[in-house]
Amino acid sequence: MKVMITGVAGFIGSTLALRLLARGDSVYGVDNMNDYYDVTLKEARLKLFSGHKNFTFDKLDIADRAGMQKMFKREKFDAVMNLAAQAGVRYSIENPHAYIDANVVGFLQRAGGCRHSGVKHLVFARPVRCTAPTPTCRFPSTTTWITRCRCMPPPRRPTSSWRTAMRISTSCRAPGCAFFTVYGPWGRPDMALFKFTKGILEGTPIRCSTKARWCATSPISMTSSRGVVRVIDNTAAPDPKWSGNKPDPATSYAPFRIYNIGNNNPVQLMRYIEVLEQCLGKKAKLDLLPMQDGDVPHIRQHRVTRTGRRFPPGHDRGDRYRRFVEWYRQYYKVA
């Protein structure tokens, strides 16, 4: 296939592109290389594609209507994976305009381009925390690598502008990947594992809440990106049992699905820090805070079936965190 990946210089985008290239697909990567975090890290990720003849990079803002129209007229894609968005749930509260431009206007440009150029499959991504679950919320799942999200009805009060973008995505009848807290080598500097590692090594206090509970984390790697690839490979089908009287927000009478990409074993935040301390061989300095804006204390999955390949259990053993720490030390040349 020829797959367009928006946000290809990002953490998940670059990992996904490498996996698609490894199996023989062609990847057309788009990214505006904004400075939300260190641009040199994004440039370093792009260097991973050196020598891949089936990779093309286009520095383009997804909100650029004229630029997106020209690209869709010039290129023909079998599938589009939408990973270009303004990241960070808390940042959406501070700067909602950046989210409207990237996550709403930008998504509309991609959806329109797919429609008018005959793209067969569009997949979008969103974080789990764009919903506002109640303490009794559960996520019964049907698979492990791709766990279908059967969450509660959409909340009346959105927790961030991610919610608006997701509603547009739903109306476009495109399947979506809901990512739990992702981590791994080449991860984002604004994510907890990255910030905590940096803080512990530098001896600066880690700002965290004692009441926050980590939802199911998901290591993103060449192996674990398999779930995203499966969503790209399989077009969602209508749910014939869907009813407006008892709507399932994860499905629709149209070709729409929401798939959780994550693990079903929640990790307590303090346990997470403890294992990270063991990997680094250094104690963390903690700056304990109350619950922060955008934090969701209750998100969990259960009833994971045996369909598909399972994320390895024992998510707090440290082996995956240790891989990130090794990459961090090597990349930043930290002894």
Q: Where are the beta strands (DSSP E) in 33-78?
A: 55-59
- Give the SS3 label for residue 221: coil
Q: What is the pLDDT of residues 248-289, one digit of tens each?
A: 777 888 888 877 776 666 677 888 888 899 999 999 999 887
Q: Which residue type occupies 323?
A: R
Question: What is the C-alpha separation between 180 and 262, in angstroms, rounded?
Answer: 5
Q: With pLDDT > 90 as the criterion, what percentage of the chain qualifies?
A: 34
Question: Mean pLDDT: which of 104-113, 237-246, 262-271, 304-313 is highest?
Answer: 237-246
How many other C-beta atoms can be found within 10 angstroms of the C-beta atom of residue 120? 11
Question: What is the C-alpha separation between 236 and 254, in angstroms, rounded?
Answer: 9
Question: What is the C-alpha separation between 101 and 62, in angstroms, rounded?
Answer: 9
Q: Domains (ranges, CATH) in the chain?
A: 2-187+216-267+300-315 (3.40.50.720)
Q: Angle at Cα 169 formed by Cα 214 and Cα 155, nearest 5°?
A: 50
Question: What is the C-alpha separation between 333 and 130, in angstroms, rounded?
Answer: 36
Question: What is the C-alpha separation between 160 and 132, in angstroms, rounded?
Answer: 9
Higher pLDDT, 237 or 210: 237
Residue 22 confidence (pLDDT): 94
131: left (phi over 0), alpha (psi -120 to 50) or beta: beta
Residue 157: exposure state from Cβ atoms within 10 A (0-12, 13-18, ≥19): exposed
Q: How far is CA 243 from the centre of its chain?
A: 29
